Amino acid sequence: MSGIRIKAAMSGDSAVIKCLMTHPMETGFRKDAKTGQLIPAHFINHVMATVADKTVLDAQWGGGISSNPFLEFRVKGAKSGDKVVVSWEDNMGEKDSADATIA
Amino acid sequence: MNEQRRQILKGVGSAAMVAVAASAGLLKPGAVFAADWNKAAFDAKDVAGALNGLAAAGAADSDQIELDAPTIAENGSRVPVKVTSKIPGTEHIILLAEKNGTPLLADFTLMNGTDSFISTAVKLGATGNVRVVVKAGGKVYTLAKEVKVTLGGCGG
Amino acid sequence: MKKFILALASLGIVFGAVAANADPEADRMKIVNYLQHRNPDIKLDDYVYGALAFDADAKSQYDSIMDFPPFIGVIEQGQKMWNTPFKNGKTYADCLPNGGKMIAGNYPMYDEKLGKVVTFEDLINDCRVKNGEAAYSYSDMKTMGVLTSYARTLSDGMKMNIKVDGPGAQKAFDDGKTTFYKRTGQLNFSCASCHLDNATNHLRSEILSPVLGQAVHFPVFRGGETLVTLQNRFVGCFKQVRQIPDKEGSTRYNNLEYFLSYVSNGLPLKASVFRK
């Protein structure tokens, strides 16, 4: 199952697209409470979204975005039935992607 | 952003554009449109360094940016932030936390008519300004709001 | 932390000694009336938000985070645990009244046969043991915590509905009430010192949440991440006021939960919510 949840619905002229991504978003500056060792940086550093095959959002992130990140964006001119695809890559080369249909 | 890459992103879905991009070496195998992460900007230890890395220095204060962030954060590791830019032609919405060890939080590129709006949640290490920088039409604009972050208390 | 304790020590106390009183409803109304008198602009149903009902800036953050909670994945883990049959093929839904739906507001409940208060978590463990599985530790947020983060949501919207019928139940209720009102521990505080007498006052930057509405909204996810059950919060709170804590599931804590839940009768349950 994808670690990206998407809620997408029209609101007036724009599609309101809300995403919740599953990711620890470790900055690399935190220490493990037990071992005292730094927990390695592990965070989403690139997010992309398309609506009806057009790229609408391309973002670069750092570890300063909260864990299990929330992202909302709005797309004017999108229509009910359009397909939204949200994908991310992280600093360790892991990737994820999910799609939804705009309600 | 690299102008060539920007043109390609705008034209995504067109086979001809993809072919041009591939031959220009701008598409890496298995990582479509994965531009190199701006390490210099994200690792910068101050706002000026981060904005220089993003070619976003010299921002003018603007009242056309709306930043919805709390006055006192419930929890510094999860501070909800909403940004609306009313500046025409907004291309980038950049978020920074001035008092974080590495202030740059995110650089959002909006395209193909998407609303100039972003809502997310960020980590704030200490009381300080959350700063928004908007790039639009070759110019740079900014607005900041102070968010207080407390430690200890009932929650621990 | 030291300054926080000194700040706690500077608070006064309004309520006097516990009166011998065999009328739980009068006990509840005394609390409700005191709080409503002090906070005339707050609707009764808004007490479920605790300190958030008294701070719009904080409530707005709660609303943003609850729009798409970061801990959804944990609740789904709980759902998987709930749906996974025991080795013998039975499920929690087979044991619990009404398949586990819309029942959490009835607990804790006084069990005449057992002569003690039974919590929703006790119900879960009874089901496990009856079906040949090991009981979960009430202190283990990874098992009992995660499971109830889902199982309790099956009762979302149900009004708290605790009954105190008969002498045994009354005795357990009184024990919970005593724990709530009695000053003890190194700082000589009672729960009432903060959560009734000084409810909604600031303790440095914290707003003290009123006792009314506390029991309906657990478990919570602190910071949107750290799962805390109601009795796990008792442990934390006891430590913070320098009382020696029990382990979750003790008779004293079950009776305290019984009392606190009764105080919140009529308020709607909502499990698995954000808190700071």
Per residue in A11-41, pLDDT tens?
A: 999 999 999 999 999 999 999 999 999 999 9
Q: Give contacts of B82 with chain C, Cβ < 8 Å.
A: 64
Mean pLDDT of B28-40: 65
Local structure of residue B35 (DSSP, 8 states):
P
pLDDT band for C155, please (50, 70, 90 cuts).
Answer: very high
Among partner residues C72, C224, C225, which is closest to A5 by beta-carbon distance? C72
Which A residues in the span 59-98 are in contact with C, Cβ-Cβ below 8 Å? 66-70
Which residues, 6+ apart, have CB-to-CB distance to B36 below 8 Å?
Answer: none
Mean pLDDT of C231-258: 97
Among partner residues A22, A66, A70, which is closest to C73 by beta-carbon distance? A22
Mean pLDDT lowest for which of B33-37, C3-7, C37-41, C75-79?
A: C3-7
Q: Give contacts of B66 with chain A, Cβ < 8 Å.
A: none
- For residue B14, is pLDDT > 50? no
Rounded distance between C-alpha atoms, residue C92 and residue C155, angstroms: 14
- For residue B2, is pLDDT > 90? no
Cα B3 to chain centroid distance, Å, stands at 18
Percent of chain A with pLDDT over 90: 97
pLDDT band for C129, please (50, 70, 90 cuts).
Answer: very high
pLDDT band for C6, please (50, 70, 90 cuts).
Answer: low
Interchain CB distance below 8 Å, B113 and A77 = yes
Q: Would you state the pLDDT for residue B4? A: 53
Structure tokens at C56: 């719009």
Question: Quick check: C70 and A70 in contact, CB under 8 A?
Answer: yes
Interchain CB distance below 8 Å, C61 and B79 = yes
Interchain CB distance below 8 Å, A68 and C67 = no
| Strand duo B60-61 + B139-147: pairing | parallel
ipTM: 0.96
Structure tokens at A23: 């990711």
Alpha helices in chain B (DSSP H): 3-10, 15-23, 39-43, 47-53
Q: Sheet harboring C226-228: ordered strands across? A: C226-228, C220-222, C273-275
- For residue A72, is pLDDT > 60? yes
Q: 3-class SS at C231?
A: helix
Interchain CB distance below 8 Å, A20 and C70 = yes
- For residue B12, is pLDDT > 50? no
Numbers of helices and strands, H then E, in chain A: 0, 7
Numbers of helices and strands, H then E, in chain B: 4, 8
Structure tokens at C268: 């709607």
Backbone angles phi, psi at C77, to 5 degrees: -60, -45
Which chains does chain B touch, 3 or more C-beta pairs < 8 A?
A: A, C
Question: Among all chains, which residue has been given the structure tokens 């599985």?
Answer: C133
Which of A11, A73, A102 to mutate to probe the B interface, most B CBs <10 Å? A73
C-alpha to C-alpha distances, C242 to A6, C10, C203, C206, nearest whole angstrom:
45, 15, 16, 18
Local structure of residue C155 (DSSP, 8 states):
G
- For residue B151, is pLDDT > 50? yes
- CA-wise closest residue to B151 among C204, A30, A24, C227: C204
Among partner residues B80, B119, B150, which is closest to C205 by beta-carbon distance? B150
Mean pLDDT of B60-82: 97
Does B150 lie at the interface with C, CB-CB under 8 angstroms? yes
Percent of chain A with pLDDT over 70: 98
Interchain CB distance below 8 Å, A66 and C224 = yes
Interchain CB distance below 8 Å, A7 and C68 = yes
- For residue B33, is pLDDT > 80? no
CB atoms within 10 A of CB C177: 23
Does B72 lie at the interface with C, CB-CB under 8 angstroms? yes
Rounded distance between C-alpha atoms, residue C112 and residue C130, angstroms: 20
Q: Would you state the pLDDT for residue C243? A: 94
Structure tokens at C238: 């006891």
- For residue B28, is pLDDT > 90? no
Mean pLDDT of B78-98: 98
Q: Would you state the pLDDT for residue C21? A: 55
CA atoms lying within 13 Å on the CB side of residue A97: 10
Which residues, 6+ apart, have CB-to-CB distance to C276 below 8 Å?
Answer: B74, B75, B153, B155, C58, C222, C223
SS3 content of chain B, % helix, strand, coil (to 5): 20, 35, 45
Mean pLDDT of C100-117: 98
Question: Quick check: B128 and B146 in contact, CB under 8 A?
Answer: yes
* Residues of C tagged active-site: 237
- For residue C13, is pLDDT > 60? no
Question: Quick check: C112 and C168 in contact, CB under 8 A?
Answer: yes
Rounded distance between C-alpha atoms, residue C246 and residue C234, angstroms: 8
Question: Among all chains, which residue has been given the structure tokens 């080369």?
Answer: A93
Q: Give contacts of A18 with chain C, Cβ < 8 Å.
A: 67-68
Does B79 lie at the interface with A, CB-CB under 8 angstroms? yes
Structure tokens at C184: 């003890």
Percent of chain B with pLDDT over 70: 77
Q: Which amino acid is at A38?
A: L
Question: Quick check: C205 and C23 in contact, CB under 8 A?
Answer: no
- CA-wise closest residue to C9 among C213, C172, C189, C147: C189
